[in-house]
Structure 1
């Protein structure tokens, strides 16, 4: 794997879900369809509340023994576990927190994973969500990652990984999309929600939003001048609060960010300020 760049990370959540009812239970909770998930595969989905608001996100994977694993970059294990266990009634389902026993490695390689997957000592390999370009996550027991770390090539630092995520417009949950936000406000309806799987918690709200075809707020990419402000930061247009800057990272001569904005308050020129009486310091980097 000489042509590989890597980033070592600790999952915020890595839960093992087992039991006779594991599939049916998770299927009734996740926004994605798990019925065709094969061993070794991963799907990205959301855990919502009954109002369709964000609780957490995660990848869901299945191993050869039929166990399911819920892994998240940013959503805490305790939050996901509490959300799920609140709905276990008579189900044969056991949720075990194994977060500290696993490590993650993001891999950027010139070659597809089929050519190097066999070189890794176990674990899961799946497509990541850190940027638009091709990259993969390898999540494995701590000992396996530590034994193989020297063979992974040069490391990418956390600041660059975060910059790429923000420039790509990929929300971090709950930093960018939290318990007061809808998935559609962050564009997650495109790749985190199945509209054909049937019932799950929050499904009626998602179906209604799909039929309406619009939301009042959107998480949008912005570019700013000067230093990265303390986050979260209120944003203003024409002296009125128009949104909130939730993520930001140094980029070029200023910073790139993700901001949740109220669409009807965004001016035609897309310029936003960090104070009601300040000159605009941010510019929308995409159309609302």
Structure 2
């Protein structure tokens, strides 16, 4: 029985950034170090507001010697990708950069399961990247347990069968994702409100504090160095009828968090660390909520 699965991710878009200033242009905007992106290494990062609040997250790949690819949320009717495209174009100014929406040229595929990386001949190293069937294969830059991401030229899904992967569906992908504690853009991160470090970006290789300035850096750095993280996006297990996203999680008469997403009997919730202790009985609209802390999460000592 196969231990490798793949799922087409229809809610993803791809934007090409080409031209001689492509790296320096993105370097001043994005939370991660774009200078490290190469044919062998892909990355994950975010674009923030000047005030340091979340706007977009995405993966960055090198397409060729002159181009980078941004894999981002598509959104309903392409709205999220269009907003990101407009934002990048706004900051382009005189940079020698060309922006092109190439979503129609690619299928974005998640490959997951016990043998996902070995099936693709990829090492257990976040972001490790190589060419694949005229496209790109990359270990998930956030967490190797999530498997890999593949950008395939349209109508190339037969390549998945060729590596011995079994077709799955996007819900199976999301159930694994939330169990590992990985956010999916605006599904769990409130636009213009969410803070990167409350949502795991430091541990998930999504922010580089040594790269120099980027938009929103001041708040992000202050949050880190002043120890201001009081909430964390964490996996939850739901026992009972699943509450809707946005439902408050209660610890007695105190609000302990907010459910951000639900997939199967799990989901992600933004938890107020000071209001949850081990063994507490948490409820959300009558359902029992258990908070899980993945191994990769680093909590303040008082909240661990």
Q: For residue 187 of structure 1, what is the aligned residue in structure 2?
A: 200
Matches within 5 A, 1:1-288: 4-39=4-39, 41-72=41-72, 76-108=80-112, 109=115, 111=118, 113-114=120-121, 120-128=132-140, 133=145, 135-143=147-155, 145-148=156-159, 150-152=161-163, 153-179=165-191, 180-190=193-203, 191-250=205-264, 255-266=265-276, 269-275=279-285, 281-286=288-293
Q: Which runs of 5+ in 1 are unaligned?
A: none
Contact kept, 8 Å, 2:20 with 2:66, in 1: the verdict is no
- For each residue in 1:89-126, what CA deviation from the matched residue of structure 2 results, as whole angstroms up to 9, or x when unmatched? 222222111112210222343626348x9994210110
Cα distance change of structure 1 residues 114 and 234 upon mapping to structure 2, 3 Å threshold: same
Conserved? CA contact 2:236–2:289, under 8 Å: yes
**Aligned counterparts of 1:15 and 1:209: Cα–Cα separation in 2:** 30
Q: How many residues align?
A: 279
Change (3 A) 1:82 1:154: same
* Runs of at least 4 residues off by over 4 Å: 117-120, 129-132
How does the TM-score come out when normalised to structure 2?
Answer: 0.81
- Per the normalisation by structure 1, the TM-score is 0.85
* SS of the residue 2:145 aligns to: coil
Q: Distance in 2 between matches of 1:282 and 1:4?
A: 30
Q: Distance in 2 between matches of 1:248 and 1:86?
A: 35
Indicate conservation of the 8 Å contact 1:74/1:173, yes or no: no
Q: Check conservation: 2:251, 2:283, Cα contact below 8 A.
A: yes
Structure 2 spans left out of the alignment, 5+ residues = 123-128, 294-302
Task: Please give the per-residue CA displacement for 1:39-68, whole angstroms capped at 9, x wherever unaligned.
Answer: 353111111111111111111111223111
Q: Give the whole-Å Cα distance in 1 for the aligned partners of 2:120 and 2:171.
A: 25
For the aligned residue pairs, the C-alpha RMSD in angstroms reads 2.8
Shift of 1:235: 1.9
Structure 2 CA distance for aligned equivalents of residues 30 and 119 of structure 1: 24
